[in-house]
Amino acid sequence: MASPSSLQLSSSLLLIAAVALLISPATSQTCKSQTFAQRNTKFSKCTDLPSLKAQLHWTYDPSARPSPTISVAFIAPPARPEGWVAWALNPTGSGMLGAQALIAFKDTNGSTVVKTYNISSYGSIAESTISYEVLGKRAEFSDGVMRIFATLALPTGDEKVNQVWQVGPSVKDGVPVKHDFSQENLNSKGTLQLVSKSVEQDKNGPAAAPTSSNGSGSPTGAQSGNDSGGSWRINASVLGLYGALVLLGVSLFLGF
């Protein structure tokens, strides 16, 4: 049997391992490594976007009533800690002009907020309504990344939408200041295929069936700011952590 001192050693190693496992999601941001602090946050798909170290977790619910919905978690590090991140759908073009944007930043009172902008020029921007009904939105800033959570109503029958994303360095008087124009900033757009054309491999493994239109997919359910129901993903990650610790403990005991 293990002596008291080896027990002590193994429990401190376990603590170190636990801390390391808890920290790792922040240091390696990809779809696979990301988990959400709030329970009940789960998406059926995730895309590691090709620029600006951004990810989009999303669930398209074509059967939501009265309109189909898309729930997203857009995650990216702002260009500087005091900066902003943005995610937009563009129903009229592929770039910034026409983008119906959600922009997250630290407001003048210190809260991380997400506001909507109808981007109609390359000049200054102003908060406004957008052409999509926003059924819920909130933002978080921690571990160097900002997260925009939002649910938008989409027109019936859209199979794909143009998306644009961006990060910026600062906010002045509550208004996001212009972003850089590096290649990465200019490449940050693409198509979001809502309805799979053929057999499209989902990065999270087999996709869960779209959430039913009853419950959180409906406008009232989405109002809470949560994006879709269920908490197995979080439970799975807790179980994963627990499982790793048990395995580590077993191997340490066998080693002594």
Least distance in angstroms from the C-beta of 100 to ligand NAG: 7
Residue among 129 and 182 whose Cβ is closer to ligand NAG? 129
Angle between helices 232-255 and 4-27 (to 10 degrees): 140
- Is residue 131 close enough to count as binding ligand NAG by CB under 6 A? yes
Helix (H/G/I), strand (E/B), else coil: 252: helix
Size of the site for ligand NAG (CB under 6 A): 13
- Is residue 128 close enough to count as binding ligand NAG by CB under 6 A? yes
Residues 176 and 146 sit within 8 Å (Cβ to Cβ)? no
Residue among 113 and 177 whose Cβ is closer to ligand NAG? 113
- Is residue 220 close enough to count as binding ligand NAG by CB under 6 A? no
Contact range with ligand NAG by CB under 6 A, out of 33-41, 68-76, 102-110, 143-151 = 102-110
- Is residue 185 close enough to count as binding ligand NAG by CB under 6 A? no
Q: Which of 124, 214, 224, 251 binds ligand NAG (CB under 6 A)?
A: 214
C-alpha angle with apex 105: 24 to 31, nearest 5 degrees?
35
65 DSSP 8-state letter: S
- Is residue 120 close enough to count as binding ligand NAG by CB under 6 A? yes
- Is residue 124 close enough to count as binding ligand NAG by CB under 6 A? no
Residue 80 to residue 84: CA distance in whole angstroms: 8
Residue 76 to residue 64: CA distance in whole angstroms: 28
Q: Residue 101, Cα to own-chain centre: how many angstroms? A: 15
Contact range with ligand NAG by CB under 6 A, out of 126-134, 153-161, 186-194, 242-250 = 126-134
Residue among 110 and 157 whose Cβ is closer to ligand NAG? 110
Residue 132 to residue 118: CA distance in whole angstroms: 10
Residue 13 to residue 239: CA distance in whole angstroms: 19
Residue 188 to residue 95: CA distance in whole angstroms: 9
Q: Which of 3, 5, 28, 109 binds ligand NAG (CB under 6 A)?
A: 109
- Whose CA is closest to 226, among 116, 72, 45? 72
Residue among 96 and 252 whose Cβ is closer to ligand NAG? 96
- Is residue 113 close enough to count as binding ligand NAG by CB under 6 A? yes
The residues that bridge with 147 in the sheet, in sequence order, are: 75, 140
Pair of tokens at residue 166 = 């961006």
Residue among 27 and 212 whose Cβ is closer to ligand NAG? 212
Q: Which of 27, 35, 187, 212 binds ligand NAG (CB under 6 A)?
A: 212
Using only C-alpha atoms, the chain has a radius of gyration, in whole angstroms, of 21
Least distance in angstroms from the C-beta of 62 to ligand NAG: 12
Residues that bind ligand NAG (CB under 6 A): 107, 109-111, 113, 118, 120, 128-131, 212, 214
